[in-house]
């Protein structure tokens, strides 16, 4: 069993054995002190222990600040190995960075509007992007050359590669009399990437609420979607038929959807101020993380039993709000016990997008302020076991 895969087994074990509320209360003080120290120097309000306070200066998780965009970030994405970090924003550029030191390697220039979404294939050979200029583009990761462009009637809001990179799925916006659509395209990997078909292998229009996020599910034959109404659904990639749905996954718009490494479960964030963990096969809600602010992104941390949540007060009200009042922190919640264990500040506006390094050793956040912040975890993050014997060694 790989190190990245222990979290699901741990979840199943915890679901079977259960943990009493009494035991939770007993370890609560120790837990908060330990995790606060690991995420120092940015603890949640009122939870910093004297021990954490004394050691704060010695355990700073210093971020790397990436300055390559002129407008707010829309999505960030690590490649499979984690050595590259891709970012896009409401300007027209896509940037690629070394994730270890924040050095910018180059840009992908070709869109004429906000770049809403990006994804990179498993070989780091192709990059796909979707934009408000009503196009989806395929790029050569190494050279930065645009290999192919698909054109649509409306903006492309989300794109995703299949696990083996031979297909791409995208969501186009419902606007100007055009229905929102989910399209699946085959990707020709046999040549240099310029020989692609403009025709989708399947196009379908979700009934009712429009889709806001999409990805391939645990099987390549299934498409997983999140919707404006808060529902999540599984569609057949071949027929477009809705095969499974959860109408009440959230109460408001789903803003992000990220899969676990083995795709057996996933996390969603929503404007209803919650993030939820779901089983992919059944769409059943496994865990709920309730906050006091609208959420724009959520990610699952490998190695450690945490999920990361990001959001903040609506962007239109940011200018009259301080960073603390606006709640512009990345929040760390315990994946199993559904308790907040720490926060990391730094952005001067809402956090729009989060991504965790595939190794679990760092994470990145992109904000309304136009900055990407890369945080490398220190040793205390991995050594801390706030729930004692209930947490396996990383």
Would you state the structure tokens that stand for residue 91, as one six-digit string? 């300007």
What CATH number does residue 103 fall under? Answer: 2.130.10.10
Per-residue pLDDT at 27 exceeds 90: no
How far CA 61 is from CA of 43, 88, 176, 298, 381, in Å, comes to: 12, 25, 47, 20, 10
Phi, psi of 305 (to 5 degrees): -85, 55
Query: pLDDT tens for residues 56-77?
Result: 433 456 799 999 999 999 999 9
* Per-residue tokens: 363: 């994470």
Q: Residue 292: is its pLDDT beyond 50?
A: yes
Among 199-213, 252-266, 380-394, the range scoring the smallest mean pLDDT is 380-394
Q: What global pTM score does this model have?
A: 0.84
- pLDDT beyond 70 at 322: no
Q: Is 45 part of a structural domain of the chain?
A: no
User: Which H or E element spans position 51?
Assistant: helix 50-55
Give pLDDT, residue 196. 97
Give yes or no for a contact between 89 and 370, defined as CB atoms under 8 angstroms apart: yes
Q: What is the mean pLDDT of residues 129-156?
A: 97
pLDDT of residue 393: 61
Task: Provide the pLDDT for residue 208.
Answer: 86
**Of 44-48, 267-271, 359-363, the least confident:** 44-48
Note whether residue 174 is domain-resident: yes
pLDDT digit string (tens) for 164-174? 999 999 999 98
Q: Can you give the pLDDT at residue 175?
A: 85
**Number of domains composing the chain:** 1
Residue 105 has pLDDT above 60, yes or no: yes
Q: In this structure, what is the dihedral angle of CA atoms 324, 277, 374, 75, given to the nearest 10 degrees? A: -90
pLDDT at 347 over 90: yes
Backbone phi, psi, residue 59, to 5°:
-130, 45
pLDDT: which is higher, 40 or 263: 263
Share of the chain above pLDDT 70, in %: 79
Give the span between the Cα atoms of 279 and 286, in whole angstroms: 7
The predicted pLDDT at position 301 comes to 96
Whether 224 has a pLDDT exceeding 80, the answer reads yes
Q: CA angle at residue 359 from 68 to 130, to 5 degrees?
A: 45
The pLDDT confidence band at residue 176, using thresholds 50, 70 and 90, is: confident
Collapsing DSSP states into helix, strand and coil, what is residue 188? coil
267 occurs within a structural domain: yes
Q: Which residues pair with 223 in a beta bridge?
A: 216, 235
Inside any domain, residue 186: yes
Evaluate whether residue 6 is within a structural domain: no
Query: How many angstroms separate the CA atoms of 137 and 118, rounded?
Result: 10
- pLDDT the model gives residue 282: 97
- CB 85 within 8 Å of CB 364: yes
pLDDT score at 228: 95
- Domain-located, residue 302: yes
Is the pLDDT reported for residue 130 higher than 80? yes
CA angle 195, 199, 201 (to 5 degrees): 105
Q: Which domain holds residue 94?
A: 64-383
Q: Is there a domain that residue 337 lies in?
A: yes
Domain-located, residue 151: yes
């Amino acid at each position: 069993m790989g190190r990245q895969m222990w979290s699901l087994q741990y979840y199943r074990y915890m679901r079977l054995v259960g943990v009493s509320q009494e035991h939770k209360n007993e370890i609560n003080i120790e837990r908060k002190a330990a995790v606060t120290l690991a995420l120092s120097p940015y603890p949640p309000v009122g939870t910093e222990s004297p021990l954490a306070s004394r050691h704060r200066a010695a355990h700073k998780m210093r971020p790397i600040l990436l300055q390559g965009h002129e407008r707010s970030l829309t999505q960030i994405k690590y490649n499979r190995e984690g050595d590259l970090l891709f970012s896009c924003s409401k300007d027209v550029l896509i940037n690629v960075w070394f994730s270890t030191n924040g050095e910018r390697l180059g840009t992908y220039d070709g869109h004429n509007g906000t770049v809403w979404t990006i994804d990179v294939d498993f070989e780091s050979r192709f990059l796909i992007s979707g934009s408000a200029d009503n196009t989806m583009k395929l790029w050569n990761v190494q050279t930065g050359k645009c290999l192919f462009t698909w054109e649509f009637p409306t903006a492309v809001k989300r794109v995703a590669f299949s696990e083996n990179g031979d297909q791409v799925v995208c969501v186009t916006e419902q606007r100007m009399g055009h229905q929102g659509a989910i399209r699946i395209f085959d990707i020709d990997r046999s040549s240099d990437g310029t020989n692609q078909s403009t025709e989708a292998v399947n196009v379908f229009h979700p009934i009712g609420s429009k889709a806001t996020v999409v990805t391939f599910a645990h099987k390549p034959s299934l498409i997983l979607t999140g919707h404006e109404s808060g529902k999540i659904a599984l569609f057949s990639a071949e027929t477009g038929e809705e095969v499974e749905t959860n109408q009440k996954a959230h109460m408001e718009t789903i803003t992000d959807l990220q899969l676990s490494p083995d795709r057996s479960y996933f996390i969603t964030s929503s404007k209803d101020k919650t993030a939820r963990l779901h089983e992919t096969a059944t769409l059943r809600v496994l865990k709920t993380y309730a906050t006091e602010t609208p959420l724009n992104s959520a990610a699952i941390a490998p190695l450690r039993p945490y999920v990361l949540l990001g959001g903040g007060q609506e962007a239109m009200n940011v200018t009259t709000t301080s960073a603390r009042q606006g709640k512009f922190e990345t929040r760390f919640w315990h994946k199993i016990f559904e308790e907040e264990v720490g926060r990391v500040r730094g952005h001067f506006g809402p956090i729009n997008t989060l991504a965790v390094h595939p190794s679990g050793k760092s994470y990145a956040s992109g904000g309304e302020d136009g900055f990407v912040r890369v945080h490398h975890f220190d040793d205390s993050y991995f050594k801390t076991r706030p729930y004692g014997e209930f947490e396996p060694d990383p």
